[in-house]
């Protein structure tokens, strides 16, 4: 989706850039960074699973938020100096605030404790009052909770538990916002949901970071009980827009980027 989105933005703004996909094996990461990414014709890169943490060893500068989150999803090549950023957390927060309004003093449940959860929880923790992280492997949730709680900018009380019916039931009784950062429900297993539908309530905002399909089983169930829903597409486009602006120093044509993503997703809807 990033190639579709960025190439549409380059066409729209008349910039002579092109976004290409590069498959990199872990043992090639150091050489890719030092040789391919520092070249004069390369403005930067996005980094995805499984390289978001490891890539940090090969960058010259890492911006504050990426350091805090502990992962880089965006690299800018400034004359051979590689600078690392993380735009996932801010993009998720922007999408949530646009839909929900201020998240100050809200109670949030986050499902998952991987890279997306780290970024989302870090940004939410600056304003929310409580965050409960529930994960398939409970120790990963506990580790993330401990890690984030140690930062002075973390305002939220963060708790952790295992992603199970009973913990979800208890957590959802009190929550304002539910965020899924697990891949459960993603194409092709579109009938799966991380949450039993009977636990959802009409006064929740349910945000699924999965964007293929656009309306996941979780979001369909949430909509059926009258809850507000937010798909993963806004987060995707907002992080893409931030990426475009850091690479080009031009305002991102967000509407064009959104249209390109929606067209591509709808074109391959199952
Ligand atoms: P990741 O680092 O691999 O983390 C995956 C997390 O999901 C882990 O906490 C893992 O639990 C959990 N998980 C995996 N399979 C599961 C299952 N079958 N049942 C329950 N939990 C499961 O991946 P990530 O980078 O965080 O990305 C996760 C998802 O976020 C992606 O699939 C993508 O859809 C979405 N995402 C969206 C955007 C966007 O812009 N919209 C951006 C980034 C990511 P364990 O700890 O037990 O392994």
CA of 16 to the centre of ligand 1 (A): 34
Specify the residue with its C-alpha closest to ligand 1, atom 37: 209
CA of 125 to the centre of ligand 1 (A): 19
Mutate to test the pocket of ligand 1, among 182, 230, 235, 254 (most ligand atoms within 8 A of CB): 182
Q: Which atom in ligand 1 lies closest to the alpha carbon of residue 236?
A: 40
Helix extents (H) in the chain: 2-13, 29-31, 64-69, 88-100, 115-124, 138-149, 165-174, 217-224, 233-248, 254-267
Mutate to test the pocket of ligand 1, among 55, 118, 136, 164 (most ligand atoms within 8 A of CB): 136
pLDDT tens for the 270 residues of the chain, in order: 999 999 999 999 999 999 999 999 999 999 999 999 999 999 999 999 899 999 999 999 999 999 999 999 999 999 999 999 999 999 999 999 999 999 999 999 999 999 999 999 999 999 999 999 999 999 999 999 999 999 999 999 999 999 999 999 999 999 999 999 999 999 999 999 999 999 999 999 999 999 999 999 999 999 999 999 999 999 999 999 999 999 999 999 999 999 999 999 988 543
Pairing mode, strands 130-135 and 81-85: unpaired
Contact 185, 162 (CB under 8 A): no
CB distance 88 to ligand 1 below 6 Å: yes
CB distance 140 to ligand 1 below 6 Å: yes
β-partners of residue 63 are none
Tokens matching residue 69? 């989150």
pLDDT at 270: 39
In a 13 Å sphere around the CA of 233, the CA atoms on its Cβ side amount to 21
Specify the residue with its C-alpha closest to ligand 1, atom 34: 210
Specify the residue with its C-alpha closest to ligand 1, atom 3: 114
Whole-angstrom distance, CA of residue 228 vs CA of residue 224: 10
pLDDT at 268: 54
Whole-angstrom distance, CA of residue 82 vs CA of residue 77: 5
Tokens matching residue 32? 């890719």
Whole-angstrom distance, CA of residue 30 vs CA of residue 56: 10
Whole-angstrom distance, CA of residue 189 vs CA of residue 196: 16
pLDDT at 259: 97
CB distance 184 to ligand 1 below 6 Å: yes
Sorted by sequence, the CB contacts under 8 Å of residue 242 that are 6+ apart come out as 74, 85, 87, 90, 91, 252
What's the start-to-end Cα distance of the chain, in Å? Answer: 16
Q: Which atom in ligand 1 lies closest to the alpha carbon of residue 116?
A: 26
CA of 116 to the centre of ligand 1 (A): 7
- Active site (annotated) includes residue 52: yes
pLDDT at 269: 41
């Amino acid at each position: 989706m990033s190639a579709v989105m960025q190439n549409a933005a380059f066409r729209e703004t008349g910039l002579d850039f092109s976004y290409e996909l590069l498959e990199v094996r872990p043992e090639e990461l150091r050489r890719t960074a030092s040789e391919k990414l520092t070249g004069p014709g390369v403005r930067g890169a996005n980094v995805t699973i499984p390289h978001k943490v490891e890539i940090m060893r090969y960058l010259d500068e890492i911006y504050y938020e990426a350091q805090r989150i502990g992962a880089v999803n965006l690299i800018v090549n400034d004359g051979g100096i590689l600078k690392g950023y993380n735009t996932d957390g801010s993009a998720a927060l922007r999408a949530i605030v646009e839909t929900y309004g201020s998240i100050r003093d809200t109670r949030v449940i986050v499902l998952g404790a991987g890279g997306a959860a780290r970024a989302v929880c870090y940004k939410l923790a600056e304003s929310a009052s409580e965050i409960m992280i529930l994960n398939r492997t409970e120790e990963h949730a506990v580790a993330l909770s401990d890690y984030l709680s140690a930062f002075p900018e973390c305002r939220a009380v963060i708790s952790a538990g295992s992603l199970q019916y009973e913990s979800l039931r208890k957590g959802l009784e009190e929550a304002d916002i539910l965020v899924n950062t697990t891949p459960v429900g993603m194409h092709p297993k579109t009938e799966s949901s991380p949450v039993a539908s009977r636990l959802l309530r009409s006064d929740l905002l349910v945000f699924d970071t999965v964007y293929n399909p656009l309306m996941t089983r979780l979001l369909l169930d949430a909509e059926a009980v009258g809850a507000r829903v937010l798909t993963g597409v806004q987060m995707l486009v907002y992080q893409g827009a931030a990426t475009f602006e850091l690479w080009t120093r031009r305002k991102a044509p967000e509407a064009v980027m959104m249209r390109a993503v929606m067209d591509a997703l709808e074109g391959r809807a199952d």
